[in-house]
Amino acid sequence: MGANQAGEPAPDGHGGLPRNATVADHIVARLAQWGVRRYFGYPGDGVNGMTSALQRAGDRAEFVQVRHEETAGFAASAHVKYGGGPLGCALATSGPGAIHLLNGLYDAKLDHQPVVALVGHTALTAEGGGYYQEVDLLALYKDVASAFLAQLDDPSQVRHLVDRACRTALARRTVTALVLPSDVQDEPAVPDPPHAHGYYHTSAVPSSATTVPPEADVRRAAEVLRGGERVAMLVGQGALGAEAEVRQVADRLGAGVATALLGFAAVDHREPWVTGAIGLLGTRPSWQLMRDCDRLLIVGSNMPYSEFYPPQGQARGVQIDVDGSRLGLRYPTEVNLTGDAGPTLRALLRELGPGAAPTAWRQRIADATAGWHRAQREIAGQAADPVNPQALFAALDDQLPGDVMLAVDCGTCTAWYARHLRLRPGMLASLSGTLLSMGGAMPYGIAAKLAHPDRPLVALLGDGAMQMNGVNELITVAKHWRSWPDPRFVVLVLNNRDLAFVSWEQRSGEGTPMFPASQDLPDVAYHRWAEVLGLHGILVDSPDQVPDAWRRALAADRPTVINAMVDPAELMLPPHFTAAQARKTAAAVLRDPDRAGIVRRGLPAAVSTWRPRLR
């Protein structure tokens, strides 16, 4: 039998595949056994066999066409982060498509998200001949897919290569890749390799993982932590899903809790003992928490800024991580527990026993944190030219829906997100946390919305990221939004005509003024672009428009772009500003083209930021 009238292979039950199935059909079917249903990508002749197979799969698979392969990589990473499925999958054609895909894949690799990349390649018969779009993909992907990378050259390899790629991605929480020559994709499938020398018969069942460390090690950790009077906890993305356990251990130890940006949603930021983000974009209370603690418990975090940990020798430390190779890398911890955060924290809680937690330390934390939040609100309320960007985040915090999903780009918007938004249980949020790549928020938002189309989504971008790929991926939003039960997809663009984060890095790190040729951005009417696409657009160029803009956007019947004209002189002060940074910044400001604006905004912001401290 051949194809049926719909163009689909005629089934005969052989190996669970139709008799005339292709290698590409087999790949799609095998990936489905691992939970892969959604493919983010862009078509091309190098993957025509794969896209044809996805078409034949019907509603058993979904191909999400994005505007650029980089977006596909970001979205595959975000698909896992927002709970869309156990594995992300990106599909790109040979040569240029495979090259474009890399940046998004590196986001997944650095943030430890399991993603399988499928990249098309030159036909086997033409390899090595300098064919169009022929690049050495095995060499190109050697780093990003170092855990497992293979080229599929024979139909009998499908089972074991797909199984190993998926198993490795899940077990090591990383990127794996399969290179698919275009002609092999259309060869007849071999769903059951021969029982003979040189062939494999593999399993599509995920491997179990170590969840709880040995009891003796947990007991030693409890002994270290139990003696602390000033306990600090640092939680990262490894604590996501263990929110209740984090709270229970923090309460038992009387600890203050700081969060890495990837772990922002692991705690309730309304709690007085949650100091918020840590690091260059973090809070003053988180900085002081680490400076004054005598015990440190790190849960699922690999935050790399060593200067934001306690000084060596000050605090006795315990760390929990599912990957034992990442333990003890950031602070000289005494006990390292390899295990999942939830069950490991429950085991630790049993060893800690009931006990009485210190209260004076928590009160100091609460006082400092409350003072910090008051100061941030004061800064957000200060006059700017024309709009204070922090006012937009303070107003959003007041109106956040309880089931909101947040997609955050990298730049000054990350700082205002970290300092003003108080996430609480039920909310989801993420960003490019380790690669720190611009252009992640829109792909993240698209993946989150496809995973949970019945929840509102807010994407927070600077104008640099919006120009980088946001204006294009807004087309993807316009293509899909009518199928979403909840059509709310709100895009905030901080339009300051400046790559502001880099401008401030140049001032404080290099002692050089803002370089207009490098930093200036064209002024784009982003709200008008939204209207061209059939979406809502809102222009905010006055501070009194801010609260109503959020109310309108969060009540809209379709996606909305808020084009906020914000002050490029808004200072982004770190929680710990060194003398060297202060000297360089001052020297740069004296020669800066916007020195008047910086001076105008600088003094009131600095006074408000540095007021609250742990005492």
Are 279 and 164 found together in one domain? no
Residues 222 and 181 in one domain: no
| 94/131 same-domain check | yes
- With respect to residue 71, please indicate whether it lies within any of the assigned structural domains: yes
502 and 412, same domain (yes or no) = yes
- pLDDT < 50 positions in the chain: 1-14, 603, 607, 610, 612-615
338: domain CATH number?
3.40.50.1220
492 located within any domain: yes
The pTM score is: 0.92
**Does one domain contain both 65 and 132?**
yes
8 Å CB contact between 103 and 83: no
Domain boundary pick from 315, 337, 366: 366
Buried b (16+ CB within 10 A) or exposed e, 343-370: ebbbbbbeebeeeebeeebbebbbbbbe
Distance of alpha carbon 569 from alpha carbon 187, whole angstroms: 60
Question: Is residue 404 domain-shared with residue 299, that is, in the same domain?
Answer: no
566: DSSP letter:
B
The CATH number covering residue 135 comes to: 3.40.50.970
Angle at 415 between CA 526 and CA 111, to 5 degrees: 95
Q: Residue 581 has what pLDDT?
A: 63
**Is 349 found in the same domain as 241?**
yes
pLDDT of 543 reads 97
**Residue 402 CB coordination number (10 Å):** 10
Residue 239 lies in a domain: yes
Task: Mark whether 498 and 404 lie in a shared domain.
Answer: yes
pLDDT of 12: 38
pLDDT, residue 509, reads: 74
Q: Are residues 406 and 274 in the same domain?
A: no
Last residue of a domain, one of 331, 366, 401: 366
Is residue 17, in this structure, part of any structural domain at all? Answer: no
Q: Are residues 294 and 392 in the same domain?
A: no
Tell whether 16 is covered by a domain.
Answer: no
Q: Which domain holds residue 532?
A: 382-610
**564 and 422 in one domain?**
yes
- Note the pLDDT of residue 369: 96
- Residue 402, SS3 per DSSP: coil
Are 459 and 444 in contact, with CB atoms under 8 Å apart?
yes
Q: How many domains does the chain have?
A: 3
Residue 326: inside a domain: yes
Could you tell me if 235 and 354 lie in one domain?
yes
- CA distance to 73, 161, 488, per residue, from 97 (Å): 11, 22, 31
Tell which of 366, 399, 430 closes a domain: 366
